[in-house]
Structure 1
Amino acid sequence: MTPPRTSVPFAAALALALTSGAAALGHELLWTRRLLDVTGSSAASGTRVFGAFFLGLSLGALVIARHSVFTRRPWLWLALAELAIAALSAPLLFLPEFTDWIWPWLGRAPLTGAAGGAIKLLVSIVFVCPPAVMMGTTLPLLAAAAVDAQPNMARHGIWLYGANTAGGVLGLILVLLVLMPVLGVRGAMTMILLNAIVAGVAFGFARSRPRAAAARPLPRGDVAEGTRPPRWVIALAAFSGFGILAAEVIALRLLMLLATTSLHAPFGVLVAVILALAAAAFATPLVRTSLSLQAVTAFALVAAGLCFALAPFLFVQVAAHPDWLSAAGAGAFVARLALLTLAVIGPGVLFAGTVFPNLFRLARGRNGHASALAWLLAANGLGGLIGAEVAYRGLLPWLGPHVALGAVGLLYVVAGALMAALAKSMRHVFLAAPVLAGVVALVFVPLRNLPIVNPHMNFAIIAQESGREGTLVVADHPQMGRLMLVDNQYVLGSTSARHDQERQAHLALLLHPLPRRVAFIGVATGMTPGAALMHPEVQAIEAIELSEVVTRMARQHFGDVNHHVLDHEKVTVAVEDGRSYLAAAQDAFDVVAGDLFLPWGAGAGSLYSLEHFRAVKRALREGGLFCQWLPAYQLTSDQLTLIINTFLQVFPEAELFRGGFHPDRPTLALIGLKGPGLDWNVVRQRADALRARDDVKDPSVRSQEALALLHLGPAAPLVQPATPVNTLANMLFERDASKVRLSGGGQGLYLYNRNWTTFLEGRYRHLGSGAAELTRSEAVRRWARLGIMLTNWEIARRTGHASAPDLQRQIAQAFPRSVAADHGADWSHWPGLGRWQLER
Structure 2
Amino acid sequence: MGVSTVEQAVGTRQVAHRSRTALLLPTLVVLFFLSGMSGLIYQVLWLRMLALIFGVTVYAASAVLASFMSGLALGSYVAGRYADRTRNALLLYGVAEVLVGLSALATPTALAAVERVYVGLSPSLTDATAVLTLVRFVLAFAVLLVPTTLMGATLPIIVKSSLLQVEGLGQRVGVLYATNTAGAIVGTVAAGFYLIGSQGLNFSFQVAAGINVVVGIVAIAASFAFARGAEDEGRTNGDASHHHSSQVSPLISNRARHLVLVVFVLSGFASLALEVVWFRVLVLFLRATTYAFTVMLATFLLGIAVGSYVVTPLMRRRADWLVWLASIEMAIGVVSLSSLLMLGWSYRILDLGEAILRRPLPYETLIMLIASFLAVFPAALLFGMAFPIGLQLWAVAGTDAKEHVAERIGIFYSLNTIGAIVGSTIAGFFLLPWLGSQLSLAVLASVGLFSGLLLLSTLPPDRRGFAVRAGGVGLLLFAAAAITMPNPFDLAVKHRFEGETLLWREEGVQTTVTVNQQPSGFKLLYLDGLHQADDNPAMVAVHRIIGHMPMVLHPQPQDALVIGLGGGATPGAVSQYPGANVDLVELAQSVVNGSEWFRHVNYDLLRLPNVRLRVDDGRNYMLLTPKRYDVITADLIQPVHAGAGNLYSAEYFRLARNVLKEDGIMLQWIGALPETQFKLIMRTFLSVFPETTLWATTHDGDHLLIGKKKPLELRRADLERKLQDPTTREALAAVGITSWETLLEKYRAGTDALHQYVGEGPILTDDRPQVEYFLSLPRREKQREIEEINSGGIEKYVRP
1:507 aligned partner, one-letter code = M
Change beyond 3 A, Cα 1:700–1:336 = closer
Q: Is the 8 A contact 2:691 2:710 kept in 1?
A: no
Residue 796 of structure 2 is aligned with which of 757, 762, 766?
762
Q: Does 1:286 align with 2:320?
A: no
Change beyond 3 A, Cα 1:715–1:606 = farther
- Partner Cα separation in structure 2 for residue 228 and residue 403 of structure 1: 32
Which deviates more, 342-351 or 48-57? 342-351
- Partner Cα separation in structure 2 for residue 389 and residue 716 of structure 1: 51
Residue 729 of structure 1 is aligned with which of 767, 772, 775?
767
Change beyond 3 A, Cα 1:111–1:27 = farther
Change beyond 3 A, Cα 1:442–1:393 = farther
Aligned to 1:623: 663
Aligned to 1:295: 323
- Partner Cα separation in structure 2 for residue 485 and residue 97 of structure 1: 35
Aligned to 2:287: 260
Matches within 5 A, 1:695-774: 695-696=730-731, 697-698=733-734, 700-718=736-754, 719-736=757-774, 746-751=782-787, 754-755=788-789, 757-759=791-793, 761-764=795-798, 767=799
Deviations 1:541-565 (CA, angstroms, capped at 9, x unpaired): 11111222212222x4334443332
Residue 219 of structure 1 is aligned with which of 223, 242, 245?
242
1:761 aligned partner, one-letter code = E
The alignment-based identity, stated in percent, is 23
Report deviation, 1:452.
4.6
Structure 2 residue runs of 5 or longer lacking an equivalent are 1-18
Q: Does 1:63 align with 2:102?
A: no
Aligned residues: 750
Aligned to 1:349: 380
Residue 188 of structure 2 is aligned with which of 172, 181, 200?
172
Deviations 1:574-623 (CA, angstroms, capped at 9, x unpaired): 22221111122345111111221112111111211100111101101110
Aligned to 2:7: none
Q: Secondary structure of the equivalent of 1:542?
A: strand
Aligned to 2:12: none
Aligned to 1:45: 60
Q: Does 1:318 align with 2:346?
A: yes
Q: Does 1:671 align with 2:706?
A: yes
Q: Secondary structure of the equivalent of 1:726?
A: coil
Residue 547 of structure 1 is aligned with which of 566, 569, 588?
588
1:165 aligned partner, one-letter code = T
Report deviation, 1:341.
2.4
Q: Is the 8 A contact 2:256 2:455 kept in 1?
A: no
Aligned to 1:460: 501
Change beyond 3 A, Cα 1:70–1:81 = farther
> TM-score, length-normalised on structure 1?
0.82
2:468 aligned partner, one-letter code = V
Which deviates more, 423-432 or 443-452? 443-452
Q: Secondary structure of the equivalent of 1:622?
A: strand
> TM-score, length-normalised on structure 2?
0.86
Change beyond 3 A, Cα 1:132–1:203 = same
Q: Is the 8 A contact 2:159 2:173 kept in 1?
A: yes
2:422 aligned partner, one-letter code = I
Q: Secondary structure of the equivalent of 1:414?
A: helix
Q: Is the 8 A contact 1:89 1:131 kept in 2?
A: yes
- Partner Cα separation in structure 1 for residue 482 and residue 709 of structure 2: 57
Aligned to 2:689: 651
- Partner Cα separation in structure 1 for residue 515 and residue 735 of structure 2: 30
Q: Does 1:91 align with 2:124?
A: no
Deviations 1:226-247 (CA, angstroms, capped at 9, x unpaired): 9999421221121221222222
Report deviation, 1:446.
4.3
Q: Is the 8 A contact 1:103 1:580 kept in 2?
A: no
Residue 636 of structure 1 is aligned with which of 674, 684, 691?
674
Report deviation, 1:188.
0.8
Q: Secondary structure of the equivalent of 2:630?
A: strand
Report deviation, 1:212.
7.6
Aligned to 1:231: 258
Change beyond 3 A, Cα 1:682–1:377 = farther
Q: Is the 8 A contact 1:258 1:322 kept in 2?
A: no
Change beyond 3 A, Cα 1:585–1:450 = closer
Q: Is the 8 A contact 1:548 1:575 kept in 2?
A: yes
1:276 aligned partner, one-letter code = G
Change beyond 3 A, Cα 1:505–1:644 = same
2:452 aligned partner, one-letter code = G
- Partner Cα separation in structure 2 for residue 188 and residue 740 of structure 1: 17
- Partner Cα separation in structure 2 for residue 229 and residue 189 of structure 1: 43
Residue 332 of structure 2 is aligned with which of 297, 304, 307?
304
Deviations 1:197-239 (CA, angstroms, capped at 9, x unpaired): 1211222234442698999674237488999994212211212
- Partner Cα separation in structure 2 for residue 602 and residue 108 of structure 1: 30
- Partner Cα separation in structure 2 for residue 571 and residue 356 of structure 1: 53
Which deviates more, 286-295 or 501-510? 286-295
Q: Secondary structure of the equivalent of 2:690?
A: coil
- Partner Cα separation in structure 2 for residue 301 and residue 590 of structure 1: 59
Report deviation, 1:716.
4.5
Q: Secondary structure of the equivalent of 1:422?
A: coil
Report deviation, 1:334.
7.8
1:439 aligned partner, one-letter code = F
Q: Does 1:447 align with 2:478?
A: no
Change beyond 3 A, Cα 1:523–1:723 = same
- Partner Cα separation in structure 2 for residue 374 and residue 89 of structure 1: 22
- Partner Cα separation in structure 1 for residue 124 and residue 291 of structure 2: 34
Deviations 1:75-113 (CA, angstroms, capped at 9, x unpaired): 232122112211221233345643443565355894743
Q: Is the 8 A contact 1:311 1:345 kept in 2?
A: yes
Q: Does 1:503 align with 2:503?
A: no
Report deviation, 1:472.
1.5
Report deviation, 1:683.
4.3
Q: Does 1:196 align with 2:216?
A: no
Q: Does 1:141 align with 2:157?
A: yes
- Partner Cα separation in structure 2 for residue 480 and residue 95 of structure 1: 53
Q: Does 1:534 align with 2:569?
A: no
1:617 aligned partner, one-letter code = R
Q: Is the 8 A contact 1:104 1:585 kept in 2?
A: no
Deviations 1:338-388 (CA, angstroms, capped at 9, x unpaired): 554233332222223222111122122642532222221111111111222
Q: Does 1:523 align with 2:565?
A: yes
Quick one: higher RCO (CA 8 Å, sep 6+), 1 or 2?
2
2:674 aligned partner, one-letter code = T
- What CA RMSD, in Å, does the superposition of the two structures yield over aligned residues? 3.3
Which deviates more, 648-657 or 244-253? 244-253
Q: Does 1:274 align with 2:301?
A: yes
Report deviation, 1:533.
2.6
- Partner Cα separation in structure 2 for residue 197 and residue 380 of structure 1: 29
Report deviation, 1:49.
2.0
